[in-house]
Amino acid sequence: MPPRSPHDDLVHPRTVRKPPPQVAAERDLVVEDPSSGFVGAVVRCEKDVVHLEDRSGKVRAYPLGPGFWVDGRPVVLVRPTPKGPATPTRSASGSTYVAGARARVAREGRIYVEGKHDAELVEKVWGHDLRIEGVVVEPLHGVDDLPGIVREFRPAPGRRLGVLVDHLVTGSKESRIAAEVMRAGTGGPGGHALVVGHPFIDIWQAVKPSVVGIREWPTVPRGESWKDGVCRRLGWEDDTGYVWAQRILVRVRTWTDLEPALIGRVEELIDFVTET
């Protein structure tokens, strides 16, 4: 029997399989489950489970571990490493973040927006700025109430009123009411009330479609509830409050997630009510 060579126990490097790399299941990471063909982005990661959402809004839960592909390669999904709190340098609106600043005592001026969802969106993106400036945002119960609110508020120097209206386009009911308020003598150049608006039927449309994982906001015929119609056409839940909170608002992080037509109007109102 020939003597053993010291090379007999070596394995050719091409026969050694490296284990798949570990990849943290960070939010928005696109992952494929090759066994089912399901492809989705990470929407949340719990202790041992990752939740993926595909383009149509369908969410599936999978146990963390091997068996996934990322960028066409097998990986082992693991929980993301908890990140310690970091002091931001920019607020969600893009302004300089003032760390540790106390909220200013509220001004007498106010900004009214058309509805609860509008107020929540403005707060999420511009909340830091509003607290620094001492500006309070309140929701209207309906644009029809606007003339009465303006009369009751009685805008004056140091007590300015700004109003953000949905669907402020030529010929709309909203445009007629806004014109009535401005003709009342409280608005216009040098006045103490300002009504501005965006062209969207609802504040949902002011969020870029890509942010919520759709190509575009559906067209809903006049006479049909716009929010309900959107949910039906996208296959979303029939609870518009849930859809707003869990599918739309939660995805908004900064001003870059919003349409410019809204951003400019909100900035204009903040400047107006804080002008001295």
Lowest mean pLDDT among 33-42, 72-81, 104-113: 104-113
pLDDT for the residue 221: 93
Domain for residue 6, yes or no? no
Domain for residue 126, yes or no? yes
Domain for residue 217, yes or no? no
Q: Do 69 and 134 fall within a single domain?
A: no
Domain for residue 150, yes or no? yes
Contacts of 77 (CB under 8 A, 6+ apart): 22, 23, 24, 25, 31, 50, 62, 64, 65, 68
At 165-206, the pLDDT tens digits run 888 877 777 778 777 776 664 544 447 888 888 889 999 999
Q: Do 114 and 61 fall within a single domain?
A: no
Following CA atoms 115, 118, 121, 127 in sequence, which dihedral angle do they give, to the nearest 10 degrees?
-80
User: Considering the chain, what is the average pLDDT of its residues?
Assistant: 83
Q: Do 73 and 127 fall within a single domain?
A: no
pLDDT for the residue 156: 83
Lowest mean pLDDT among 59-68, 152-161, 170-179: 170-179
Q: Do 147 and 200 fall within a single domain?
A: yes
Q: Do 61 and 132 fall within a single domain?
A: no
Assess whether pLDDT exceeds 70 at residue 48. yes
Q: What is the mean pLDDT of residues 21-30?
A: 91
pLDDT for the residue 157: 83
Domain boundaries, position 45:
13-78
Buried b (16+ CB within 10 A) or exposed e, 214-244: beebeebeeeeebbeebbeebebeeebeebb
Q: What is the mean pLDDT of residues 148-156?
A: 83
pLDDT for the residue 188: 45
Domain for residue 156, yes or no? yes
Q: What is the mean pLDDT of residues 154-164?
A: 86
Q: Do 189 and 258 fall within a single domain?
A: yes
Query: Is-contact 269 113, C-beta < 8 A?
Result: no
Q: Do 184 and 269 fall within a single domain?
A: yes
Domain for residue 166, yes or no? yes
Assess whether pLDDT exceeds 90 at residue 239. yes
Domain stop point among 78, 98, 130: 78
Domain for residue 228, yes or no? no
Q: Do 128 and 172 fall within a single domain?
A: yes
pTM across the whole model: 0.63
Q: Do 72 and 116 fall within a single domain?
A: no
Q: Do 266 and 173 fall within a single domain?
A: yes
CATH number reported for the structural domain that contains residue 169 in this entry:
3.40.50
Q: Do 167 and 263 fall within a single domain?
A: yes
At 87-97, the pLDDT tens digits run 556 667 666 55
Q: Do 45 and 132 fall within a single domain?
A: no
- pLDDT above 70 covers what percent of the chain? 82
Q: How far apart are CA 267 and CA 270, in angstroms?
A: 5
Domain for residue 65, yes or no? yes
Count of domains observed in the chain: 2
